[in-house]
Amino acid sequence: MIYDGEDILSKLVLVRHGQSQWNLENRFTGWVDVPLSAKGVDEAISAGEKLKDVKFDTMYVSHMLRAIQTLHYILIGSNDKRTPIIYHEDKRIRDWEHHIGDPASEIPIYMSVDLAERYYGDLQGLNKQKTREKHGNKKVHLWRRSYDVNPPNGESLKNTCERTTPYYKRHIMKDLEEGKTVLVSAHGNSLRAITMYVENISEKEIPSVEVPTGVPIVYSFDEKMKLVDKELL
């Protein structure tokens, strides 16, 4: 049950996509656009069941298939019968959409690469265990779980925060300040960046923060945008 106290102004719901096919195969995924596994579909359906009675004012999703699929199943399970409309950030698409939107009959969904997963560079597609055997546990752990160490030709968590956090402040937080209920369907590391900002988590602590697949995380804020409640559904 989402907390609904009188002091609540807005709510933010974060959903990491369900298990992907490469999560299942224990491979580094990053920006390789793989789909959900069968288990991932079940996780997305479960998230939709938990959120079916929530009326979202806006939704945000990364451009990657596994996040889009997760959002798709959440929408299918929703009791909200408004039409979901995706607004793309690519200029040509945005210019040609020519649609202002109607919040009474539509749910606006904003898609952005800034919400995409951390780019794993040369590791993408490699089996994680075989990579540990080749490079050693310590080095692979640093690549995966440090804040500012980059994998070969890839992004660190710090780099991911540097694109995701400004997007959150510019768009998502603006909606929250207006008292909206917002859903974000994205990835472990882009959601870790948002979590770091929302919960004021340190650079030292954030790499160990786990974001479970397919589990809605609900943040509630008061009128001063102070975090007053967090719940995992």
- The tens digit of pLDDT for each residue in 117-137 reads 999 999 999 999 999 999 999
pTM: 0.94
What digits encode the pLDDT tens for the residues 144-168? 999 999 999 999 999 999 999 999 9
- And the tokens for 133? 């055997």
Q: What is the pLDDT of residue 3?
A: 46
81, 32 contact by CB (below 8 A): no
Residues known to be catalytic = 17, 117
Mean pLDDT of the chain: 95
106, 83 contact by CB (below 8 A): yes
Residue 6 has pLDDT above 60, yes or no: no
Strands of 58-62's sheet in order across: 83-88, 106-112, 58-62, 181-186, 10-16, 217-221, 227-232
Which pLDDT band, with edges at 50, 70 and 90, does 94 fall under?
Answer: confident
Topology classification of domain 24-54+62-117+200-232: Rossmann fold (3.40.50)
Separation in Å, CA 88 to CA 93, 99, 152, 187: 6, 12, 30, 18
Residue type, 96: W
Separation in Å, CA 176 to CA 67, 69, 81, 168: 21, 24, 22, 10
Residues in Cβ contact with 196 at an 8 Å cutoff, skipping those fewer than 6 apart: 161, 165, 206, 209
Residues in Cβ contact with 136 at an 8 Å cutoff, skipping those fewer than 6 apart: none
Q: What is the pLDDT of residue 91?
A: 87
Residue 4 has pLDDT above 70, yes or no: no
Enumerate the domain spans of the chain: 24-54+62-117+200-232
